[in-house]
Amino acid sequence: MDKFGSHSRKHMPLRRMLQYLDMNDYRITSLGIPRDSSDAETKRWVTQQLKDGIKDIDELEEALTTTSKEIQALQKQLNVIEKDVVKSLSMTGGKMVGGIDMQGHSITNLPLSTTANEPVTKGWYAKKLARLGQKSHRQGK
């Protein structure tokens, strides 16, 4: 009998080993770390993989919870912005109804006025006023 408890082990044909291996209730020990999907694994290796998987799942759930809270906060901000947009003027035309409270801000980059009902800049007004002053000064002489 050999150290594995088998009388016929030394004489077992190789083709039989490839088909069937009866361990006679003996264990396989000292397995290396599996490299291929068909490699045998130790109970310790499988247990560690399960623990790591659970740890990874816990980390993913924690990240998901954090992300969900961030999304909820952004949704609240978006709701506030949407309410402000509803109150805003259209950027592509439309009709103005009511006044605009500029809250101390200026209107800039006005085009040159071509009709009497368009707004003008202070610079345009100052030039016209200066020309009127020059005309009246000349006429008064």
Task: Choose between 92 and 40: higher pLDDT.
Answer: 40
The whole-angstrom separation of Cα 85 and Cα 129 is 40
pLDDT of residue 70: 96
pLDDT of residue 100: 82
Q: How far is CA 127 from CA 28, 90, 131, in A?
A: 101, 32, 6
Per-residue pLDDT for 118 more than 80?
A: yes
Q: Where are the domains of the chain?
A: 59-87
DSSP element (H, E) containing 72: helix 43-87
The whole-angstrom separation of Cα 120 and Cα 128 is 11
Average pLDDT of the chain is 81
SS (H, E, C) 73-84: HHHHHHHHHHHH
Q: How far is CA 117 from CA 89, 96, 114, 126, in A?
A: 20, 15, 9, 18
Which range among 3-7, 43-47, 95-99 has the greatest average pLDDT? 43-47
The whole-angstrom separation of Cα 70 and Cα 76 is 10
Q: Which two tokens stand for residue 123?
A: 């610079």
The whole-angstrom separation of Cα 31 and Cα 134 is 106
Give the pLDDT band (50/70/90) at residue 14: low
Average of pLDDT values for 110-133? 86
pLDDT of residue 95: 77
The model's pLDDT over 51-104, given as tens digits with 9 standing for 90+, comes to 888 888 888 899 999 999 999 999 999 999 888 887 776 777 777 778 888 899
